[in-house]
Amino acid sequence: MPDATGLELIAQGLREAEGESVVTDTLFFRERATLSVEPAHIRAVLAHLRARGYAFLASVHGVDYYPHEPRLGVCYELLDMANVERITVKVRVPSTAPELESVTPDAADGAGWPTANHQEREVYDMFGVVFRGHPDLRRILMPEDYEGHPQRRDFPIGGEPVIFTYNEHEALGSSE
Amino acid sequence: MSEYRRREQSITLAPFEQQLEDQLEAGGDEPTQELLTLNFGPHHPATHGVLRLLVTLQGEVVRDVKPIIGYVHTGIEKTAEDKSYWKVIPVIERMDYLAYYFNAMAYCSAVETLIDVEVPKRAQYLRVIHMELNRIVSHLVWLGTSALDLGAISMFWYCFREREKILDLFEMSSGQRMHTRYFQIGGVIEDIPRGFAEKLSGFLAEMPSRVDQYGDLLNSNEIVLQRLRGTCPLDAETLLSLGVTGPLLRAAGNPWDLRKAAPYSSYEDFDFKIPVGTQGDNYDRYACRLAEMYESVKIVQQALDGLPEGPHITEDRKVALPPRHELATSMEALIHHFKLVTEGMRVPPGEVYSPVESPRGELGCFVRSDGSSKPARVHMRDPSFVNLQATSPMVKGAYIADMIATLAMLDPILGGIDR
Amino acid sequence: MAAGGVGVEVKRELLVGPVTGTRPGAAAPGGSDLRVRSLNARQLLRGGDLEGPNPSVHLEGSDFERHVEESVMTTTLDKAVAWARSNSFFPATFGLACCAIEMMSIVAARVDVARFGFEAFRASPRQADLLILSGRVSIKMAPIVRRIYDQMLEPKWAISMGACCSSMGVFNNYALVPADKFMPIDVHVPGCPPRPEALMHGVLKLRKMVQDDPDMGWRERYDAQGTEEIVPGA
């Protein structure tokens, strides 16, 4: 992992390259480095980090920070195989406008990350974050016509009621 | 060279596009071949689990394949948010159902990092023993079912015979054959019983000769060579851009293995090699996994020989249950036990991503905790989920039979893909 | 039989009826053989030995009844068919998740399902009559399982293997459906995953159920009244 100074240097390099407001926060916790960036610049940030050696995108996943806004977060785990260093890039989008640029396709501003294809679809399916420019954005794990985004914190967990003797009559009566 | 081989070489086939053009020219305006989209699965004997593939065929040549998943989506990550940290372990184990110790290891190491608790050395060695045995089990089931797909049906019984021996060992140490709940946060739940070491040594003594037998049966088999050698290769750069890790990447020549690159849980104490392929075709994928079984046996032997004395779980009572004899004498132990069982452990807020090397690649676990006794988000970065994206580039332009062989060599586990 | 063919000797002999000593009717060559056999059978039924000292013992009344009970097995056709059906299940290959691995273990050598004759797992549901639902049934998969169950020909049985399809199992959440909600299940096998011996026990229990009660009420449970095939012209 890049140590704390390394993380600050990377953040510094990013700010110089992309602009002052791009990096909102750096966090060095338990030997792991996290960069929080503005959602609008995600492609540029990943391209910059790729140039620095973090060429492997290990994981793209979503987090729901309910009830804090901006609520939906997307984390990109990057790995530098040559130096065995990992860095996490985190963006947060509000649930009122859950849109983000997709990093999957190759676009005018640089090469894409094909590995993010299914993973962004999963974030869309489970959290409702719409990835602009994704080649094939549809539900991947739930049925195509499912309503709702299951892994949001305010989505009920669902399931069947466990039938004990005290509630067996209502439970069975309603389902029969 | 045999007569058969000589006869084969006299037939030359033009590449498919050329053949199609020739046919169009010969047949006039009507194209004699058209594209046919076929649905494979989700119930199909050749897929490893409920994987659905939409295959666009031109004759028998695959032009495009689209995997459709989600048929065994269990909402494991959502269920994990509802349970206390140590109760998540049985739920998360059932994700990648052939590599259950690895699921638990990834999760436990993430939570241990969050809590900042140290796992004792003996527990680390025991974890390595069980993980490498699980790697052998996973590769055995892969080998049995893949050979079944290719038609070498007897391999299935030989591989499952070895698997039964390893499951006996798991049953000895934890009481269950699969999904054993053996790894806990802070170590392992119980020390190994008397007789485990002897039985394990006996198994390790005979396992290399068994893997030799599998090699003898399949390595130079004409049919295996024809079906696997040279079929569906993919180079390492494309694999890296698709996020593929594990034996698939190693077969293509890139020796990336987290056990060597970023050792965790005392892997740096052991001396083992990483099998690497040269061409990246199906045969190399098969050979890599077969060679990994030898290496896993070596690791388990070293771990067993060097097993240190000590506690099998951390002594921190806020994280691990106290031993039962203490409950009768110590009030603090009783209180800790009560708190741990009813409420669970409290984990300081933070987010951690912790990867391990599972039999299929990089298995990572992301845990976000908000300070309470239940995790706020658990996400497993499953290797099969990401590796599945490599199916389409691999099989474009190959025959259906090659597609089946490639799927077998890809080793997808749908429980991990769908979670 | 041309010269140089298989060395089979053909002998022609007059067959003499054993008891009466009469020559059997020499009308049709095949018929005489049958007549001899039926005469022998009738004699055996009456309690006589063909070669022994008492060739012409005739049993009467209760002796005859007891002799028949001891030497002849009677059954209803239903029971005979049920015995045949229960000993020749053709399971469908239907593995969903972790339980599928343990289901593969019962085909393996330690718990060998071939001992009972069930090792012929058919890939096509049209050829199978036992559906072993092994693993968790998600909401995306449930209509497909139902479709496969519908494609199977009657009589058919279903075993719900493991906790996930019997009840919700370890995961009581939005994504799973217990199998009882959309198809009739005959045997539930608990476990997570059930040991291969446990699954074998479940299969054998089903076998016993089918042997004892050929009907098993699957028409009522499946609500399949009126789905019998109408043969045209009948």
Chain C residues close to B163, C-beta within 8 Å: 105, 108
Give the mean pLDDT of chain B: 87
C-alpha B332/C-alpha C86 separation (Å) is 59
List all residues 6 or more positions away from B185 whose beta carbon is below 8 Å from its beta carbon.
B85, B86, B89, B108, B111, B112, B115, B117, B319, B320, B345
C-alpha B139/C-alpha B338 separation (Å) is 41
- Of A143, A155, A175, nearest to C140 by CB-CB distance is A143
For the cut 70, the answer to whether the pLDDT of residue A85 exceeds it is yes
C-alpha A61/C-alpha B171 separation (Å) is 35
Tens digit of pLDDT per residue, chain B (419 long)?
555 555 545 445 556 666 666 666 666 555 556 778 888 878 887 667 888 888 888 888 888 888 888 899 988 999 998 889 989 999 999 999 999 999 999 999 999 999 989 999 999 999 999 999 999 999 999 999 999 888 888 999 999 999 999 999 999 999 989 999 899 998 998 899 999 999 999 999 999 999 999 999 999 889 999 899 888 899 899 999 999 999 999 999 899 999 999 898 889 999 999 999 998 889 999 999 999 999 999 999 999 999 999 988 888 888 888 888 888 888 988 898 898 888 888 889 999 999 999 999 999 999 999 888 899 999 999 999 999 999 989 998 889 889 999 999 998 898 889 88
Q: Of A59-68, C7-16, C39-48, where does mean pLDDT reach its minimum?
A: C7-16
Q: Closest by alpha carbon to B87, among B67, B65, B111?
A: B111
In this structure, chain A runs to a length of 176
Contact with chain A for residue C54, Cβ under 8 A: no
Residue A27 banded pLDDT, cuts 50, 70, 90: confident
List all residues 6 or more positions away from C40 whose beta carbon is below 8 Å from its beta carbon.
C18, C50
- Of C140, C173, C181, nearest to A159 by CB-CB distance is C173
Chain C residue closest to A157 (CA)?
Answer: C173
pLDDT for position C215: 62
Burial environment of residue B159 by CB neighbours within 10 A (0 to 12, 13 to 18, 19 or more) = buried
C-alpha A157/C-alpha A137 separation (Å) is 25
> Is the Cβ–Cβ distance between C84 and C210 less than 8 Å?
no
Give the mean pLDDT of chain C: 75
Burial environment of residue B56 by CB neighbours within 10 A (0 to 12, 13 to 18, 19 or more) = middle
CA dist list (Å): A115 to A122, B134, B187: 12, 27, 34
Give the pTM. Answer: 0.83
**In Å, how far is B94's CA from the nearest CA of chain C?**
7
Chain B residues close to A115, C-beta within 8 Å: 241-244, 386, 389
Write down which chains contact chain C via at least 3 CB pairs under 8 A. A, B
| Residue range B88-135, pLDDT digits in tens | 999 999 999 999 999 999 999 999 999 989 999 999 999 999 999 999
Contact with chain C for residue A158, Cβ under 8 A: yes
pLDDT for position B382: 92
End-to-end Cα spacing for chain C? 47
Interchain CB contacts (distance < 8 Å): B and C = 101
Please give the angle made by the CA atoms of C135, C139 and C141, to the nearest 5 degrees. Answer: 60
Please give the angle made by the CA atoms of B313, B317 and B320, to the nearest 5 degrees. Answer: 40
Residues in C whose CB is inside 8 Å of some CB of B read 93-98, 100-102, 104-105, 107-110, 123, 125, 135-136, 138, 140-141, 144, 148, 164, 170-176, 192-193, 195
Other C-beta atoms closer than 10 Å to the C-beta of B293 total 23
C-alpha C132/C-alpha C91 separation (Å) is 7
